[in-house]
Amino acid sequence: MSSLVHVDSLTKYFDLGRGQRVHAVDGVSLDIAEREIVGLVGESGSGKSTFGKAVLGLHDKTSGTVSWRGEALPAKYRPRDFQRWAPYMQMIFQDPYSSLNPRMTVGEIIGEGLRLHSNSSTSEIRDRVANWLLRVGLQPDHMSRYPHEFSGGQRQRIGVARALIMEPEFVVCDEPISALDVSVQAQVVNLLDTLKTEMGLTLLFIAHDLSMVRYVSDRMAVMYLGSLVEIGPADEVFFEPKHPYTQVLVASNPEPDPNLERQRVSTTITGEIPSPVNIPPGCRFAERCPMAEPECRATTPTLRPLKASPQRQVACFLVE
């Protein structure tokens, strides 16, 4: 498979003033192949959403590059850059309650991209909006209603239609199910899976739920405090995690069988998460890792392939 999106040492810092800055994303490199789904997991505050937005140009890059089919994207987007790249790359946002303009009708929300980025007539846009409402499980007459008239799951379907009506090749799904009930989560994920197959989409799927990410993704990437610590085939990372942080994440993932959940031994991480303003030297997980050695606190490990499985990459001195 050819690489559709190539991210090389992407860094995003937020300046706080007085010489301080938040290290939100710190030197992340990632290749996403055409028609691949890469799941990105990690704790809240690990930098997942910032990474996704920086890839799409919604955050300016501090350093590093993002390339689309070999062409480098701008470090800082201008209006004409959004005009050029928006038809190819879109985003489904996390919160279906705040990501839809309450003053716009559903038809206006979904059709806005076509009005901005195509020469379609008003009637053509209306027909395409009606078609997409049907594709996401809603009705054409819903286009005259406003977001507050819909449930959370229905609003997220509207967000899906808004992103995909442009027929993009690459979509960043920024925790699209975290604000939804469990039953609705499954519906939205199945909808995305169906549309991915029909449209040949490439997805960066950001989420907390490792089980869900394993279900939808081809590969899984694990982020901790702005850096990637493990990448590999989703099933391998989930069932045979190598990095100590990934092991804890998997061990803390809820077990769907209530009987097994009651028997499960709880796993917790000791220690405090280092401040993203003052990143300590060495491995960022060292102060919380039960296996840390002096080298871990002195030298920063980089992602490297495993000898037994070159498809797996782990940033840990203790893993061969």
66 domain residue, yes or no: yes
- State how far the Cα of 245 lies from the Cα of 223, in Å rounded to an integer: 9
Least confident of 64-73, 173-182, 227-236: 173-182
Q: Are 171 and 199 in contact (CB under 8 A)?
A: no
pLDDT digits (tens, 9 = 90+) for 152-188: 889 999 999 999 999 999 999 998 888 778 878 888 8
Whether 278 and 129 map to the same domain: the answer is: no
pLDDT band at 272 (very low <50, low <70, confident <90, very high): confident
Beta bridge partners of 13: 23
Whether the predicted pLDDT of 263 surpasses 70: no
Whether 150 and 121 map to the same domain: the answer is: yes
Whether 7 and 140 map to the same domain: the answer is: no
| Three-state SS sequence of the chain | CCEEEEEEEEEEEEEEECCEEEEEEEEEEEEEECCCEEEEECCCCCCHHHHHHHHCCCCCCCEEEEEECCEECCCCCCHHHHHHHCCCEEEECCCCCCCCCCCCCHHHHHHHHHHHHCCCCHHHHHHHHHHHHHHCCCCHHHHHCCHHHCCHHHHHHHHHHHHHCCCCCEEEEECCCCCCCHHHHHHHHHHHHHHHHHHCCEEEEECCCHHHHHHHCCEEEEEECCEEEEEEEHHHHHHCCCCHHHHHHHHCCCCCCHHHHHHCCCCCCCCCCCCCCCCCCCCCCHHHCCCCCHHHHHCCCCCEECCCCCCCEECCCCCC
Whether the predicted pLDDT of 1 surpasses 60: no
Domain boundary among 167, 196, 225: 167
Whether 302 and 217 map to the same domain: the answer is: yes
Look at residue 256 in the predicted model and tell me its pLDDT: 66
Domain holding 238: CATH number? 3.40.50.300
Whether 140 and 278 map to the same domain: the answer is: no
What number is the average pLDDT over the span 132-137? 93
Whether 211 and 310 map to the same domain: the answer is: yes
Q: Which residue has the tokens 């799951």?
A: 153
Whether 178 and 272 map to the same domain: the answer is: yes
Domain boundary among 142, 167, 192: 167
Whether 186 and 214 map to the same domain: the answer is: yes
Whether the predicted pLDDT of 218 surpasses 60: yes
- State how far the Cα of 160 lies from the Cα of 179, in Å rounded to an integer: 14
Domain boundary among 167, 201, 224: 167
Q: Considering all CA atoms of the chain, what is the largest pairwise distance in Å, rounded to the nearest integer?
A: 67
109 domain residue, yes or no: yes
Whether 66 and 108 map to the same domain: the answer is: no
What number is the average pLDDT over the span 76-84? 93
Whether 187 and 271 map to the same domain: the answer is: yes
What domain count does the chain have? 2
State the residue range of the domain holding 8.
Answer: 3-88+168-314
Whether 213 and 280 map to the same domain: the answer is: yes
Tokens of 164: 């995909």
Whether 35 and 137 map to the same domain: the answer is: no
